[in-house]
Structure 1
Amino acid sequence: MEKREYAEDYPEKTLYIPGPTEVREDVIEEMAQPMFGHRMDRMTDLYTTIVEDTKAFLGTNNDVVILTASGTEFWEASTLNLVDENILVPTCGSFSERHANVAERLGKDVDRLEYEWGDAIKPEDVRDVLESSEKQYDVVATVMNESSTGVRNPIEEIGDVVAEYPETYFVVDAVSALGGDHVDIDAHGIDVIFASSQKAFAMPPGLAVCAVSEEAYSREVGKDSASWYGGFQRTIDYYDRKGQTHSTPAIPVMLAYREQMKHMLEEGHEERSERHREMAEYTRDWAREHFDTFPEAGYESQTVSCIENTQGIDVAATIEGVSEEYDYVFSNGYGSQLGEETFRIGHMGEHDRDSIEKLTDAIEDVAGL
């Protein structure tokens, strides 16, 4: 690949993709503060504020870790921290499959509970595997929001099932849902749940947010090996001692996070979830009027709609036309499997029903619907 010079004169586009998404101007402005040291008292004030505010927003008593990374970091870290040998990964799309691939690359014994893309993971199937398998699974790892297919898996019910097996820990990839889809972490035995800042948190990319149960922390303490960067003991103990991160973080992004968390706390977790639900319902109603929805009925995502291209429109040309004529950007289907068969609308973060309607109106115009 040859160098392509960054020109700095690109037109501004409104993002309706499954992340990154739109960021408030006052949140962006926070990143322009003068730099300070990551071992200064000011850093302790900043980091303890964002950690404790995140706990308050999520309504959890679990420990919270915020690191400079994408949420992908905790795919790897949770596997290293909790899995000695066996992990069960239900797969129903690209990202759940990728979670299984990560565990395999780390040398773990991975069993998949496979579903067709578009179908949701069923709690009773998870129970059947846990009951019938001769293996002792260290972890069941499930994606909450399969953004490749627009499926929202019933992680609460799955967590209730896994909780019946106290030696098995429940890990949830909520990268594209947490912050826009309410989940009671503590009530459903979720040992690890993680997200990326650039999705429903409506932040610039660069931070991974993870809530860790006391049981998961203790599990890692008793192991011979764990992740160095994302180790639960290393990150949580350092926070308890110093109120900081063990390694130099992206301080400007954390300043932005502090400002955004003010907005999120003011709105409230359940209220923010309700706004996302309204956007999702509008988008699905629109999709069914003109196309169809791809996910299994009753399991549709609250943050990303995957729409089946039943009219056979040229998805790539429509995306380009909407971008050129309206400066709105939405997404094609994920990968070669769904590229022209579906398209996706990210209704997350600071969008509302009115802003989503502007996009659907633009799609109708460009596609001649």
Structure 2
Amino acid sequence: MTDKREYTDDYRDKTLYIPGPTEVREDVIEAMCQPMFGHRMERMTDLYTTIVEDTKEFLGTDNDVIVLTASGTEFWEAATLNLVDEHILCATNGSFSERFANVAERLGKTVDRLEYEWGTAVKPEDVRERLEESDTGYDVVGCVMNESSTGVRNPIEEIGDVVADYPDTYFVVDAVSSLGGDYVDIDAHGIDVIFNSSQKAFAMPPGLTTCVVSDAAYERELEKESASWYGGFQRCLDYYDRKGQTHSTPAIPIMLAYRKQMKHMLDEGHAERDRRHREMAEYTREWAREHFDTFPEAGYESQTVSCIENTRGIDVAATIDAVSEQYDYVFSNGYGSALGEKTFRIGHMGEHDVESIRALTDAIEDVADL
């Protein structure tokens, strides 16, 4: 049994360069410090309709948007329950895509995997081949846009174009660690469900997930005899249409932070935010290739999380500890036992820029004597 470790409030502040949570603006944090109000008051309607409609504007989508108190994991479960009768095809090329498949299995669905070696990207032509070969047909194709365990960015636009040729199959995308930091035209590529987590590229406190739902996905749920209660598309969207609120009590302070940050994101603009993230990713990859190497398949590198191959054999854990102690910067080791010392990861998302990423890489150079 785990012993209690008392929270003491005297910790040193650390700048976060991990795959999430990431840095949050001070005024966004301060926005949470407002007197509490009821989730059925008109003030809540003003708040929730603001964040929903601002999100639709930022993402440039005509599809419906749900902002729910949960982690992004909720919509792994909800999308599976809402859309899958029996068969789902999960493209797996890292820890989180494999976890997506595991969730579907735990929910009793028949899961086929389109498996790739970690570090390799999902290929659209392979998805088409599996869809063509299927005897039963798939209710859903599930894919992770940004496999943060390996730093791979899967080509979901091209995959979506493939799935669109199969009108009885729905395309579900986990964009937990990329949406808001890597532009995707949701409506143009037949993406039926795409969701994120607030603490990643949106640069908000943890606790909310944003999900974009197509009309086809909504109608599909209406046809099913059972669906998710908490994350049901019908339940969430119908309540919004009637009341402009959430069906269950939300995390109001985090929604206040969401409102503040989304205004910043609208001011910057989606295209400019994408450009800034691309510049950070390009800088980090160039630095990695100068001193180490990059782990992902060439041409499929993430725009928000770089996975760097430890070709020098440095002590990754010791380097992370030393950078944290000497500079108060925190970055991540490789994911799990397979990649723990073989790679390390730098999160360049949210409110970071090239200069703040350079501060981290300079610190790593100093500590590791590069």
CA deviation vs aligned residue, 1:225-267 (integer Å, no higher than 9, x gap): 0000000000000000000000000000000000000000000
Structure 1 residue 312 displacement after superposition: 0.2
Which residue does 1:227 correspond to in 2? 228
Q: Distance in 1 between matches of 2:77 and 2:203?
A: 24
Which residue does 1:95 correspond to in 2? 96
Structure 1 residue 155 displacement after superposition: 0.1
Which residue does 2:213 correspond to in 1? 212
Q: Distance in 2 between matches of 1:368 and 1:121?
A: 36
Pairing 1:334-349 to 2, within 5 Å after superposition:
334-349=335-350
CA deviation vs aligned residue, 1:94-130 (integer Å, no higher than 9, x gap): 0000000000000000000000000000000000000
- TM-score (ref. length: structure 1): 1.00
How many matched pairs? Answer: 369
Pairing 1:187-336 to 2, within 5 Å after superposition:
187-336=188-337
What SS does structure 2 have at the residue aligned with 1:170?
strand
2:145 is equivalent to residue 171 of structure 1 = no
CA deviation vs aligned residue, 1:8-31 (integer Å, no higher than 9, x gap): 000000000000000000000000
Q: Distance in 1 between matches of 2:158 and 2:237?
A: 28
Structure 1 residue 136 displacement after superposition: 1.1
Which residue does 1:78 correspond to in 2? 79
CA deviation vs aligned residue, 1:201-240 (integer Å, no higher than 9, x gap): 0000000000000000000011000000000000000000
Structure 1 residue 133 displacement after superposition: 1.4
Structure 1 residue 77 displacement after superposition: 0.2
Q: Distance in 2 between matches of 1:315 and 1:270?
A: 35
Q: Distance in 2 between matches of 1:19 and 1:107?
A: 30
Which residue does 1:54 correspond to in 2? 55
Pairing 1:119-158 to 2, within 5 Å after superposition:
119-158=120-159
Which residue does 1:181 correspond to in 2? 182
Which residue does 2:12 correspond to in 1? 11
RMSD of aligned residue pairs (Cα, Å): 0.3
Structure 1 residue 173 displacement after superposition: 0.1
Q: Distance in 2 between matches of 1:203 and 1:73?
A: 18
Q: Distance in 2 between matches of 1:39 and 1:255?
A: 15
Q: Distance in 2 between matches of 1:90 and 1:38?
A: 39
Alignment-mate amino acid for residue 337 of structure 2? S
Alignment-mate amino acid for residue 182 of structure 1? Y
Residue identity (%): 83
Q: Distance in 2 between matches of 1:328 and 1:6?
A: 21
Q: Distance in 2 between matches of 1:327 and 1:221?
A: 51
What SS does structure 1 have at the residue aligned with 2:157?
helix
CA deviation vs aligned residue, 1:146-202 (integer Å, no higher than 9, x gap): 000000000000000000000000000000000000000000000000000000000
What SS does structure 2 have at the residue aligned with 1:31?
coil
Alignment-mate amino acid for residue 127 of structure 2? V
- TM-score (ref. length: structure 2): 1.00
Q: Distance in 1 between matches of 2:275 and 2:165?
A: 30
In the alignment, structure 1 segments of 5+ residues that lack a partner are none
What SS does structure 1 have at the residue aligned with 2:31?
helix
